Amino acid sequence: MRRLFAFHGGVKPPAHKAQSTALPIAVAPLFSEYVIPLHQSIGGAPRPLVADGDPVLKGQKIGGADGNVSAAVHAPTSGTVKAVEMRRMPHASGLSALCVVLEPDGDERWIERAPFDHKNASPDALRDYLRDTGIVGLGGAAFPSYLKLNPGKEGRLDVLVINGAECEPFITCDDTLMRERAATVIAGAAIMREMLAAKSVIIGIEDNKPEAIAAMRTAAQGRDMAVVAVPARYPAGGAKQLIRVLTGIEVPHGKRSTDYGVQCFNVGTAVGIHDAIALGAPLISRIVTVAGNVVHPRNYEVLFGTKMQDLLALAGKLPDTDRIIMGGPMMGLPMPGEEVPVVKATNCILAGSQALLPPPPPEMPCIRCGECALACPADLQPFELYWFSRAKLFGRAQEYHLFDCIECGCCAYVCPSNIPLVDYYRFAKSEIWAREREKEAADAARSRFEFRTKREAREKAEKAEKLQARTAIRSVTETDPAAAEKKALIAAAIARAQQQKAEVRPQNIDNLTLEQRAEISAIESRRARFHEMAKTAADEDT
């Protein structure tokens, strides 16, 4: 038996998982319109590669990765681009982002696909391929996977952890994926093991998923991979918490798991990597749990860009539904509307109602009971973070490691005063990020101003040096007899030319009109001015 370790804190909320696992995964039908956000992962927003009216094929790249941290976006089906415009995103802020609006043609015509020979490809070429096929972490963070598939300075990894814990209530997409596609998960884990040169592979699954554990153990036979049942305790599915349970390694503040030879991936990510390598298929869909206040809670394979209202109609949303949550009740985000699309980070669509998810009681003053600190899986002091966040003492909050908070909601779950602690932490983080952006903008403006000031000072100094040099040359020229004689000869020649010009009387100037005389006068004026300018230039040269 493999030894397991415990992580600090955690809670055991009601699971509510049995309802959505009674039926197998269903493939969602084609709908009339798909809204595909170009920004679906952490990092830079992909640049649009299509325009209004363009025909596209299923799997065609419609958004190119932009920057070092980015992943491509692809058409979920064949059809015609209706628009490339701003649409509301699936985020609590309700802000809009650039989206490709696609009208399907119903033909489901794929691009040409071919397996990728990862065994003979260089590591950089393989990572570029995964970036261009849009592979990101499907556990919720949506971090581009090609950046994590790097063995680091040592050239290899000690442990590759495959995360199948799925600890949050209502969410069962990973559970059903492991039940029905265990062989694909194992094949994807084998590819990642080769890329990372990992010594061992451990697949962690909570012990409340016996069917998934059995299926994964059967598929892993002969593969030298350990499928381990871990105690069901929220948030055992957090990367640092699962690594602690399986390996005993506790990743400290400011460090990454790769510093200790461990890397963690979700089971859905393993399937996406397998399909990209073995089938040449980009990431255009994922398994999504539709649960909560619906008639038929179930897991669906959903194309990205599908509107949540279409999925909710498919599952039979009940009339008393008063809110939609993307994710689970602990870490999920309330949606601004049902028309927002499914994206790569969407693992669950939870329909809420007053009966199913009643609103919390009114917030009361903190009594410093310390229950939140006992429940915090990150070993923080949530009540101190709460006071600093509420008082807008953001520097002190950072000193107490605010950014180590994973926003799991355990502290708010056990708080007897019903304080929405995570909301305060999110507020503090957003304010810190905003101030950092303002500081960066101010620093950039100051740098530009200082550069301009230095440039103007340099140009002024250069002009002064040139003027000083010309003055020195002129003073030397005035004291040089040969130069003075040359200057006198030039002046005498100019004088003779002017005398000759004065003696010469122009011909054919009798009986001129007033207009002709005025024109001649203007010409003579210009000629005199040009002569004067030429004389001045000659004086400066000498």
Pick the residue with more confidence: 241 or 470? 241
Give the Cα separation of 320 and 308 in Å (integer): 17
Indicate the SS3 state at residue 53.
coil
Buried b (16+ CB within 10 A) or exposed e, 311-330: bbebbebeeebebbbbbbbb
Which is nearest to 328 in space by CA: 301, 302, 350? Answer: 350
| 414-448 tens-digit pLDDT | 999 999 999 999 999 999 999 999 999 999 999 99
- pTM of the model as a whole: 0.81
* Residue that has been written with the tokens 């009674």 in this structure: 22
Q: For domain 362-479, is the CATH number 2.160.20?
A: no
Domain ranges in the chain are 128-280, 362-479, 481-502+524-542
- Give the number of other Cβ atoms within 10 Å of residue 92's Cβ: 14
Q: State yes or no: pLDDT of 480 exceeds 70.
A: no
| 388-397 tens-digit pLDDT | 999 999 999 9
Q: DSSP character for 433?
A: H
The residues, any chain, with a CB within 8 Å of residue 196's CB and separated by 6 or more, are: 149, 150, 151, 156, 157, 160, 263
- In the numeric block, which tokens belong to residue 388? 């600093």
- Note the pLDDT of residue 522: 87
Burial grade of 426 (CB within 10 A; 0-12, 13-18, 19 or more): middle
Q: Chain-wide mean pLDDT for the chain? A: 90
Peptide bond into 48 cis (omega under 30): no
First to last CA, the chain: 99
- Note the pLDDT of residue 276: 95
Mean pLDDT of 382-392: 95
Q: State yes or no: pLDDT of 164 exceeds 90.
A: yes
8 Å CB contact between 213 and 207: yes
- Note the pLDDT of residue 506: 64
Domains 128-280 and 362-479 share a fold: no
Any idea how long the chain is?
A: 542
Please report which confidence band the pLDDT of residue 477 belongs to, taking 50, 70 and 90 as the band edges. Answer: low
From 92-96, 335-339, 497-501, 509-513, the region with the lowest mean pLDDT: 509-513
CATH class of 128-280: alpha beta
| 5-27 tens-digit pLDDT | 999 999 999 999 999 999 999 99
Give the Cα separation of 447 and 113 in Å (integer): 49
Please report which confidence band the pLDDT of residue 349 belongs to, taking 50, 70 and 90 as the band edges. Answer: very high
